[in-house]
Structure formats: C-alpha cells, structure tokens
Amino acid sequence: MYYIDLHAHSDCSDGVHSPEELVTKARGAGLRALAITDHDAVDGVERAQRVSPHDLEIVPGVELSAREGASDVHILGYCFDPANEELLAYLETFRSHRLNRAKRIVQKLNDLGVALELESVIAHAQDGRTSIGRPHIARALLEGNQVESVQDAFTRYLGNHAPAYVPKAYFAVEDAIEIIHKAGGAAVLAHPGSLRRDELIPAFVECGLDGLEVIHPDHSETVRRSYGQLASKYGLVATGGSDYHGPMPDRCGLGGMKVPHRHLADLKRRLA
C-alpha cells in the first residue's frame, strides 16, 4: 500500500525544516505524496515541487486561520492553484496582520522587562519572508537566553492566557472556504477533534466544506472512526496527515500516520 502525508509545515511558516528538507524526509519515509500546508502561506509549495522526484507528488496545500464565535478554526486547502491572485492577496493580508501582531507581542514583552527586538524575530522568519507566528518569537527568546525552551516561552509569555499574548486576526470560515474554492481547491476542516465543536460541521458543509481531517496525531482510533462516519454522513472526503512541524517528543515524524494514497485520490475525484 502506498502512503501519503497531507499535513506538514515548513519554515515558510512555523515548521523547522525547509520545503526542500521536507521532500528529502518524505522520500526517506517512502511517501508517494506530500502536501505542504503552511499557515497562511504557499511559498513552500513551488520550492518543494522544484526538487521533488517523479515518484513523489507535491500537493499544493495551505492551512488558513479562521474563527467561529470563540473558536479558532483551521481550514486546510488542497490541489489549488498556488499562483491564484485572489488567494495571494488574501494571504498577503494575513502576512501583514501577523507582522503587526508580532510587533505588539514584542512590545508587551519589553513592557514586562524582557529584552527582545523585532529584528531578531524577523530573522527567525527568514527575514520576514515567511508568515510570522508565535513560534518564531519563542525561538528568538530561546536564542536570547530569555527562556529555557520553546515550550517555556509559551508557558511564561506567549500562550493564550500568558501576559504577552495578543490574539491574531481571523476571517470567517465561509471566507476561507470560498477563497480556496476560487483558487480551484478543496477545503478540509483540520483536526476537528482538537476543535471539539462537532455541532458546527453541518453549517460548514452548507458553506461548501469538502472534507474532514480524520487521521491526525491528536485523534485516537475511536475518534478517527467517529469522524470517518461523520464524513460519510455528510458526503465529505476523509483526509489525514502528521501535522509535522519538526521533531517533537511523543509525536510522530513525517509520514508517521500511515495515510493511504486513496484519500488523495478521493480528494481529486471530489474536485473533478
């Protein structure tokens, strides 16, 4: 059986490895397809495609930030045109919001007596060419010996209830789904088990949702079975991936979720 991974992050957002390194890792894992799904960024897709061998398909992917009420909702996009102008304009808006958020977080840290300059954060985000997020700030704090680890940075300063937290900008779920569709892609609800708002799924289906991420490291076998049944109930495609950001304790590596290739075939049939 051929396996794929439809959820991986490069250093074009908050991943550790470059798109090129992810291709090497995917080959080492014996994968037949890999989707690079960076947060609000598609810069890594073309880079991965340029170096990918013929037996490894690079699927255009993205993970868009959205919000429904008080809940953060992540929408994965697949098989779209990464050069779509409307999509790129949408992502540029996010990039600007993320930079402004980073500025506010750095100011909060400074007010708390933590010595950190925005320039050092931007350096960790490829000099501002990537979609800046809290992990970049955490790594800058670690490099400056302000914290003991990235997790320590989130616990002390950057977590959702920590003193330097600043909420990020969000768009409506229906807008995220629409922009993916306009770029020719399929929209999938990421790790619904983490969202824990299953009652929202019917409304997302009405907005055009195409699939559910059933296979995910945070989903037990029972949860996967439940979401597989839910996907069937609403006529959605079941997808899956490792949600790989880099090596992490007690977390599977790239390709570790053993997602069968048929899930990608189902996605493509949905679009056809």
Q: Report how many domains make up the chain.
A: 2
CATH code of the domain in which 130 resides: 1.10.150
What pLDDT is recorded for position 266? 97
Same domain, 112 and 141: yes
**What percentage of residues in the chain have a pLDDT greater than 70?**
99
Same domain, 78 and 191: yes
pLDDT in tens, 226-249: 999 999 999 999 999 999 999 988
Same domain, 60 and 103: no
Same domain, 78 and 111: no
Range of the domain at 148: 91-158
Task: List b or e across 77-90, with b for residues whose CB sees 16 or more CB atoms inside 10 angstroms.
Answer: bbbbebebeebeeb
Interatomic CA distance for residues 204 and 252, integer angstroms: 29
Residue 163 within any structural domain of the chain: no
**Nearest Cα to Cα of residue 74 among 87, 86, 85, 65:** 65
Q: Give the pLDDT mean for 20-46.
A: 96
56, 34 Cβ separation under 8 angstroms? yes
Q: What is the DSSP letter of 33?
A: E
Same domain, 76 and 176: yes
**Predicted confidence band of residue 31 (pLDDT cuts 50, 70, 90):** very high
151, 134 Cβ separation under 8 angstroms? no
Residue 61 within any structural domain of the chain: yes
What pLDDT is recorded for position 170? 79
Question: pTM, whole model, 2 decimals?
Answer: 0.87
Q: Give the pLDDT mean for 131-156.
A: 92
Interatomic CA distance for residues 7 and 76, integer angstroms: 8
Same domain, 81 and 103: no
CATH code of the domain in which 239 resides: 3.20.20.140
**Coil, strand or helix: which one is 73?**
strand
Q: Identify the weakest region by mean pLDDT among 40-44, 102-106, 165-169, 200-204.
A: 165-169
Residue 167 within any structural domain of the chain: no
Same domain, 7 and 78: yes
pLDDT in tens, 98-110: 899 999 999 999 9
pLDDT in tens, 148-199: 999 999 999 999 899 999 987 778 999 999 999 999 999 999 999 999 999 9
Same domain, 117 and 197: no
